[in-house]
């Protein structure tokens, strides 16, 4: 598996992981909150597949081209029409353009955290970091969306409620929600002939009966006192949660079937692309089909300070082809109505094309003032562009939203009240989202 580095030259193994264990009027907000209550059976069946484009994808080379800007801003690519009149994408996004009538593009998300560590945290959690952090930092001051969904929704059939493929994003952890709500990571390549998933099969030397007997024996012998109040921070509880989760997966036929990607017809596997990314997207579809409410697909390599145009001709086109295949497949199966697909990263890229010292090809730098997000499914109105940036793509000029509004929209679609108060490991109250107003145009 390739390990993508950010502009600081750091990867996950190099960084300190700090804390990973441990608009609307009230009428509409209240109505949406009521629709997302536990009594709404539709919301209880919804799910989200998040394509996390780590490094920060350019809005110019994806969903917000600027053909009328000067050459040093508009770049090498031309805009192309989509299936929706008046909606234009970069010429790299041909397959997504062909299904533009299934998509919503939000062009007006912005924040003020212009480095990877802080920007990732803000977009992944809806909360800014509490203190300044380094560009390459892996930090968690607040639970990620996937961990919150795990805690609030859970999953059926012995499956974890939150998956991250092939790794956990740098701020994708549970923070004070505890290890039980950390993502289940599937690191192996589903495109490989010998694809296996850890912890989903009972070791050969143990049959089901012996494994269950050992679990019962452990429960009888292990008489440690358990402090079930989360504020107590009992580390044994996390070990118990991990043990129970492993047994649940190993003994669940539904859980094991979800990973049997070889059961998919060849035409379906080919449609997704016989690449690691394509088959990870297909695996994500199988997981939501099995009842998993949140899956993150981490796709690195988007920190294009240089080589941005050749990178988009290859990496960008692979990504958009896979996303288009997933959305089309979900729609054909009737799953798009209940599955939200999001494509985003920690920020956009700078309007002015730059050339780093020693680089022969140009790129764009970090730019958190303008971010494009693709959304499809789960009652999201189809075929629309929300908001706009100025002529040169520097900043939004209408319908301006923050990460809080985006995250609140996700929670409402998945039947979770974004205005909820949580309690951290010390018992201190904290808002799930500080601004619980959703992006109105995403809420169908």
Q: Residue 424's pLDDT is what?
A: 87
Q: Which tens digits make up the pLDDT trace of 16-37?
A: 333 333 333 344 444 444 444 4
Count Cβ atoms within 10 A of the Cβ of residue 57 and give its class: 0-12 exposed, 13-18 middle, 19 or more buried.
buried
Q: Residue 157's pLDDT is what?
A: 79
Q: 3-state SS of 292-334?
A: CCEEEEEECCCCCCCCHHHHHHHHHHHHHHHHHHHHHHHHHCC
Q: Which tens digits make up the pLDDT trace of 322-335?
A: 999 999 999 999 99
Q: Which tens digits make up the pLDDT trace of 70-101?
A: 999 999 999 999 999 999 999 999 999 999 99
Q: Which tens digits make up the pLDDT trace of 272-298?
A: 999 999 999 999 999 999 999 999 999
Instruction: Provide the residue ranges of all domains of the chain, joining segments of one domain with +.
Output: 12-202+251-442
Give the length of the chain.
Answer: 444
Contact 123/54 with Cβ under 8 angstroms? no
Q: Which residue has the tokens 């958009």?
A: 320
For residue 118, pLDDT beyond 90? yes
Q: Which tens digits make up the pLDDT trace of 414-441?
A: 999 999 999 988 899 999 999 999 999 9
* pTM, entire model: 0.85
Q: Kindly report the backbone phi and psi dihedral angles of residue 222, in degrees, each rounded to the nearest multiple of 5, phi listed first.
A: -85, 95
Q: Residue 256's pLDDT is what?
A: 85
Q: Which fold does the domain 12-202+251-442 belong to in CATH?
A: Alkaline Phosphatase, subunit A (3.40.720)
For residue 217, pLDDT beyond 60? no
For residue 271, pLDDT beyond 60? yes
Per-range mean pLDDT, top range of 3-7, 110-114, 191-195: 110-114
Q: Residue 197's pLDDT is what?
A: 85
Least confident segment among 28-32, 200-204, 219-223, 266-270: 28-32
């Amino acid at each position: 598996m390739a390990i993508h580095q950010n502009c600081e030259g750091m990867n996950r193994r190099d960084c300190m992981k700090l804390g990973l264990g441990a608009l609307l009027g009230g009428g509409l907000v209240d109505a949406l909150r009521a629709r997302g209550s536990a009594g709404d059976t539709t919301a209880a069946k919804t799910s989200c597949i998040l394509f996390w484009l780590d490094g920060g994808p350019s809005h110019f080379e994806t969903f917000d081209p600027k053909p009328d800007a000067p050459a040093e801003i508009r770049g090498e690519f031309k805009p192309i029409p989509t299936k929706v009149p008046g909606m234009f994408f970069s010429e790299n996004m041909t397959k997504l353009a062909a299904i533009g009538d299934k998509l919503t593009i939000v062009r007006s998300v912005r924040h003020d955290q212009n480095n990877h560590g802080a920007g990732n945290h803000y977009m992944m959690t809806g909360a800014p970091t509490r203190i300044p952090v380094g560009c390459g930092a892996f930090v968690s001051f607040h639970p990620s969306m996937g961990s919150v969904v795990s805690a609030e929704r859970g999953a059926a059939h012995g499956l974890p409620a939150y998956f991250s493929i092939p790794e956990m994003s740098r701020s994708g952890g549970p923070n004070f929600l505890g290890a039980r709500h950390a993502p289940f990571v599937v690191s192996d390549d589903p495109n490989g002939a010998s694809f296996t998933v850890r912890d989903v099969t009972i070791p050969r030397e143990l049959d089901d009966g012996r494994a269950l007997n050992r679990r019962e024996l452990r429960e009888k012998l292990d008489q440690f006192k358990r402090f079930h109040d989360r504020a107590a921070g009992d580390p044994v509880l996390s070990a118990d949660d991990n043990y129970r989760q492993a047994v649940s997966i190993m003994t669940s036929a539904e859980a094991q079937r979800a990973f049997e990607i070889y059961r998919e017809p060849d035409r379906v596997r080919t449609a997704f692309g016989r690449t690691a990314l394509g088959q990870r997207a297909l695996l994500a579809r199988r997981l939501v089909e099995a009842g998993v409410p949140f899956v993150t697909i981490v796709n690195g390599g988007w920190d294009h300070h240089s080589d941005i145009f050749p990178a988009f001709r290859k990496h960008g086109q692979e990504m958009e082809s896979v996303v288009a295949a997933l959305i089309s497949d979900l729609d054909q199966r009737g799953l798009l109505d209940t599955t939200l697909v999001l494509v985003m990263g920690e920020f956009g890229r700078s309007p002015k094309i730059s050339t780093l010292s020693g680089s022969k090809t140009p790129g764009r730098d970090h730019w958190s003032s303008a971010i494009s997000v693709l959304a499809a499914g789960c009652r999201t109105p189809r075929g629309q562009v929300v908001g706009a940036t100025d002529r040169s793509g520097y900043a939004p000029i209408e319908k301006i939203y923050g990460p809080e509004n985006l995250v609140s929209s996700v929670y409402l679609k998945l039947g979770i009240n974004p205005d909820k108060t949580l309690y951290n490991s010390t018992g201190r109250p904290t808002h799930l989202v500080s601004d619980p107003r959703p992006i109105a145009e995403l809420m169908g």
